[in-house]
Structure 1
Amino acid sequence: MANTATDLTEEDAADLQFPKEDDLSTFSRCNIFDNSDSTYCANCYCEVQSKYILCEKCKVNICLSCFSNGAEFLNHKNDHDYRVLSTNFVLFENSDWTAEEELKLLDCISNYGNWNLITQELPNRSVNEIIQHYEYFYLERNGCKGFPKVNFPDVALFPELVVPYRFRLADTDEPPRYLSNTVGFKSLAGYNPARSDFEIEFDKGAEDILSNLEFVDEDDPHYELLTKLQCSLVEAYNRRLQERQRWKNLIRSHGLLLVRKTHSWLKRYDNTINKNIYEKMIRFMQLCKPTKFEMLMEGLHRVGELKLHISRLINLRKIGITTLAEGRLYFKLKQSHEANKKSLKLFRQDPALNWKACKDSNFTIISKCSRRRSFAPIEISGMPGYSKLSPQEADLCSTVRLVPVTYFQLRDTLVSECRKNGSVSLQTARKLLKIDVNKTRKLYDFLLQEGYIQKTSSSIS
């Protein structure tokens, strides 16, 4: 059909459904949709929405605005035959999704990557419906065999989700019945398994509230007031009893009966969560169910482990190791080096094999002289607070065998003392820190050298 009316309005062009007898769903499977630019106007390059025009001769798309203005471009003339197309048709077989919804779905996935936000753009579809549709027609390529094939990793093929946490439900079982006056009995935090109750009650002074209650005579002029006061005391006692029972249930449900086992469980988080943090976290134990709190702690523990791994990888990258094979070889050689270093040290300490020491006539006397044992540096990379250390501080912590968090606490103690008195002596530092004297001396000298503290004139050496 020749188009002679070039001044059609946008509404008139939208009402033209030519050809009437054609099924637009069959046209949707035409090869025109294989063109990457098939949804854009060939004149103004805007994205066509809802209804648009297809030039039968040029095989290009034209938006309604350009069509109604009689736009001519390239080889296209405004008297060419055309079709009025719409995106309001079903694109795939066995589906009730229109082409317009399909376009909106793909655009939202590209822009958002979040199913909840996509649901807001498609209010008539639920989250599960959107996910199932996308997986069936696009990922599994049931909509078109020309879709790119998705290679699923082995992790995605596991039948069950692997979780990083473990439930400690066994800790809530009935504890063993130790004999009285034994270490095991004391480790139960006062719990008596034979009575299934605690020997020492929580808030054991709660009954003192009722100890001074007396009978009130009805003829007393203040009978009503005294009765209300006594009722208030009884209500307060009941609230304290409820709190006592709540703490009992909390200790049982979270498996806190065995004190030593609880401490060993928390000790597991020293290097990943940090003692100061998990001591604050356990205060919220009363607000969570046992499994939920366990999941929270194990999740934080897993985060700490990942940080340790990342820190080690960063250190390996700094020394030029970029592949797993190089990393395995590095650790293998490092282990061999440490073993050889240890055997060489033992060899030098053996008087029968150390020929240099044999030249000295006083060798027997020298060998008896005890030398201070030197300890190997520790690996502190990835520990809590490691990222805040300067290279000099990291070297000091590794050599002196101090955890970064402990180093910060000791440093802040000496710095605050220096600010208070204007200077700090070595003797004062030993009294404040209360650690090994050699560690104190090295830490004290380092802080003096770095300018954190100032030395007093009476400081001892």
Structure 2
Amino acid sequence: MTVTHRKRTANDAEKDIAEAGVKYHCDPCSRNITDTVRIRCAICSDFDLCVRCFCSGAELGKHKSWHDYRVMEQHSFPIFDAEWGADEELLLIEGAETFGIGNWQDIADHVGSKTRDECEAHYLQVYVGSDTWPIPDMNKKFDMDPEAQAARKRQRLAMRVNRVPAPVKAQKPMTSQPANHEIAGYMPGRLEFETEYENEAEQAVKDMIFSEEDTPEEVDLKLMVLEIYNAKLSKRMERRKFVFERGFLEYKKNQALEKKRTPKERELLSRIRVFAQLQTPEDYDKFVEGLLKEMHLRERIAELQEFRANGLTTLAAGQEYLREKSNRTSLRHLMTRDGAVSDRRNARLPPQRPTVDESLSLRGSSAANKSAPVVRKPANPLNIQNAEGIHLLTVPEQALCSTLRIFPKSYMIIKEQLLKEHARLGGLKRRQARELIKIDVNKTGKIYDFFVEAGWIQNSDA
């Protein structure tokens, strides 16, 4: 026997209708005997003959004319469904055994007269959803003429051939993206992970064999092991279904949503993520939304309480307070950074050699200065000619910043804070300026004196 498997395409419409599915050919004469009665040798493996070769006693290879035989007829009558003949049922089971459950396109090509959707729906309805599972209902009766059934089968094949094929959509090629197999070893083609839940569960059953020599206790033990294994598989399927339903494999989408959230929101979500498996996706989304809303309300209440504690009675004043608070925080960071930069620059400056006059002067006055108190040498002025914001300062202000080793941007923030506080209080004391500006008190005092001399603030100490 020669068996041919062929996938149908749109270009096969003009070919013979009977070419769908599995084909049987006479081994001696190679005649197509798919739709006729054929003789199958009961001794030789897969050896079929047409009626003519059988009557003439044809022999080929190891086959002899005196071998036992079986008469194979076309069983087009229905047994489980009026639209499915017995021969189609047999081809469906053969295709499922050959290609595996789920490869419905290959199974449909094996059947030949049914589409993949029809094969899948029929298998799930008759064999899986049967009231007498695990076997289909064997008590169904159909009053239908075999000739009428064969005619309906030919009509279905003709309709399938004449059907206009749907346009083939261009599929985007699979690429190595984080959305598929790079996520925790995910394999999208198999809808599985390289490391599953209870990944070692198969180790207990991979070598298990039921033998006739097993005692009842051994059989019960093996059945118990299989029950445990099935329970682990059920848990594995539940977790896999949970991952698919919640969209955890949509890497880019989840990453974009994560970036939009604040650090506090991300921390809250990481703490309540364990409750996702106890709720439906809709209920969990509502739960998360409610907790985030509660957190925002608590933050707003704490903010309003801070306004009231600082004597603020309007929202506009509160917004101004928040801006000044943000500026003070930025000032602290800038001053810390500026001090670190100045220290690094001073460390990189090479020591300068004194001139001849300076050396003679130092030698002459060394004896006289031995008993004098030690005076700290002032730091070198800071070069701010290329600093950011230098063009916003006057010449005296530039000199002040260079002497105090303060960058123009930091000086502008200090100036803004002092002038705002002076305008709010109607005057400003030196002690208040030191409490407001958290830097070196000597630098704050010199800036305060400079502002008083410039007439920008009024000294309340006088």
Q: TM-score range by the shorter chain?
A: 0.3 to 0.5
TM-score normalized with structure 2 length? 0.32
TM-score normalized with structure 1 length? 0.32
Q: Which has the larger radius of gyration?
A: 2
Q: Which has the higher contact order (CA 8 A, sep 6+)?
A: 1
